Amino acid sequence: MCPIRLTTNRLVIREFNMDDLDVFASLCADPLAMRYMGDGSTLSRDKVEEWIRLCERNYAIKGYGMFAVTLSNGEFIGFCGLGVVPVELIFAYVPSAWGNGYATEAARAVLAFGFDGIGLEVVYTTIDQANLASLRVVTKLGFRFFETRYDEKPEPYFAYILEKSASSPTVH
C-alpha cells in the first residue's frame, strides 16, 4: 500500500514516521498547544513514540489515522487526522501556526480523504467549550452540534458530527 499523502496549496498532510519524533514530541510537550487535547496534559517523548507506532499500525490496518502536517517547504506545524473509534477529526498545531487557516485547510483535505477516499459516512469531533478557535474551524467545515459530553475534565465539552451527505458543499 502506498503511503497516504494529501496536498493543498500550502500544506502537505502525510503519514507520521519516526523521523517526525523530535518535532512531534516538541509539539506534544508544549502546554499551550496541548491545553485542549484530552485532559490537557503534555506528552512525554516516549508517549509520542508510542503514538507514532500506533499511527503506523492504524495506516496498515484501518487505512487512515493521524497525519503530520507540514508547510510545502517541509516545516512541521502540527497534526490532523482521523481517530479510529469512533472516527473523529483531531488536530493540533504549534502556536506559531495559529491564525493562518492551516487547521481548516488540512481538515478539509483530511475529511475529503475520509469521505471520498475511504468511504466514511460520518465523522465526529469533540471540542473543549473554551476552544473558540477550533469551534470556528469545525463550524466552517460544516459540522453540527451533536451533544454535550463530560469526560476527562470536570468541564463539559461539545461533540459535533459531519455526515457525508451534508459535507459536500463545505468539504470539497
Quickly list DSSP for 15-74: E--GGGHHHHHHHHT-HHHHTTSTTS----HHHHHHHHHHHHHHHHHTS--EEEEEETTS
Q: Is 71 left (phi over 0), alpha (psi -120 to 50) or beta?
A: beta
Host domain of residue 157:
5-171
- The pLDDT confidence band at residue 109, using thresholds 50, 70 and 90, is very high
* Residue indicated by cell numbers 478557535: 133
Q: What is the pLDDT of residues 127-157, one digit of tens each?
A: 988 899 999 999 999 999 999 888 766 778 8
- 42: its cell numbers: 503534555
Measured CA to CA, the distance from residue 34 to residue 114 in angstroms comes to 25
CATH assignment of the domain containing 45: 3.40.630.30
For the chain, report the end-to-end CA distance as a whole number of angstroms: 25
pLDDT of residue 169: 42
Q: What is the pLDDT of residues 64-100, one digit of tens each?
A: 999 999 999 999 999 999 998 789 999 999 999 999 9
SS3 of residue 91 by DSSP: strand
Looking at the chain, how many residues does it have? 172
pLDDT of residue 2: 83
How many domains does the structure of the chain reveal?
A: 1
